[in-house]
Amino acid sequence: MNEFALIEKYFTWKNSNLNGLGVGDDCALIVANNQQLAVTVDTLIEGVHFPVNTTPQDIAYKALAVNLSDLAAMGAMPWYFSLALTLPSIDEQWLKGFSQSLKALAEQHNIYLIGGDTTKGALSITINATGTLTKDQALLRSGAKVGDYVFVSNTLGDAALAWWQIQRQQVPSISLLAQFNCPQPQVKLGQSLLGIASSCIDISDGLEQDLSHILTHSKVGASIDVNALPLSAEVAAHIANTQDWCVAVSGGDDYELCFTAPKMQMDAIQIIEKKLHMVITKIGVITDERGLEIKGLDGNCQSYRHF
């Protein structure tokens, strides 16, 4: 049983008064007057989501960034967050680094820490973030239409390659490590895509798995081409050497956005690219044949599984 089946089976029940989108997208949506609240929660556990001995700065950054990335995937504007911090002991040096980094990222995205809980135990961090949206504007996973193009932001596989190297006792380059430890949540991109994208998700569990969520929720298929995937020079070299397309196709932790949009929005997307100084790449098209066709991929890749 995977995470999604688990949620479906045990944590989906009828909430007659809940006017929104419950369990099953990047964020839950709750209607509050003419606004919507987008709410997301993510837990990071030492040894699972970051290596033992990751700096407190990088841990704090990532814990907040992954939540901001979920808000980004809905197009929401960050509002506030709470922090549940479990620590084996109080280490002031560690806390200083953690809080400075948390504050810096929070201020960068104008999101406010409103409260939290501290407990003693194995190191883990749960952040719950809330953003706002104009009603009915959210970027959902369910809006992709046949003929829409499929896009991703920036490059794919950098974080996965860093992790691949760490597991083999290799030292990743600074730029790969930065992508692994300090992924840039695409908050501005998400908000810019409101009214333009037909569906959106952040690539935290790997492109193949996350794009498949869009396909399932939208009841469509897609065809993408590995040769169209945007790659950094290091990931391109790794693939050339190893034929290991999996870092780009199914490697997690990229926190880029994957979205779909009708062809007529190509101009608008180019304007966003220029305005945000980023690269957005068309990697494929939505089809009416269910499932995800990945042209040029030999064999299978295993996307991230929560269990």
The contact set with a copy of itself (CB under 8 A) reads: 1, 3, 6-7, 9-11, 13, 15, 17-18, 20, 22-24, 27-28, 30, 32-33, 35, 39-45, 47-49, 79-80, 82-84, 86-87, 89-90, 92, 95-96, 98-99, 102-103, 110, 112-122, 124, 126, 128, 306-307
Residues 150-185, buried b or exposed e (16+ Cβ, 10 A)? bbbbbbbbbbbbbbbbeeeeeebeeebbbbbbbbbb
What whole-number distance in Å separates Cα of residue 161 and Cα of residue 110? 31
Closest CA to 120 of 149, 148, 90: 90
Residue 96 or 275: which CB sits closer to a copy of itself?
A: 96
Residue 15 or 242: which CB sits closer to a copy of itself?
A: 15
Residue 23 or 240: which CB sits closer to a copy of itself?
A: 23
* 136 CB-near residues (< 8 Å, 6+ apart): 36
Closest distance to a copy of itself from the beta carbon of 63 (Å): 12
Residue 1 or 233: which CB sits closer to a copy of itself?
A: 1
The CB density around residue 146, as the number of other CB atoms within 10 Å, is 14
Closest distance to a copy of itself from the beta carbon of 95 (Å): 5
Closest distance to a copy of itself from the beta carbon of 56 (Å): 11
What whole-number distance in Å separates Cα of residue 96 and Cα of residue 136? 40
Residue 24 or 262: which CB sits closer to a copy of itself?
A: 24
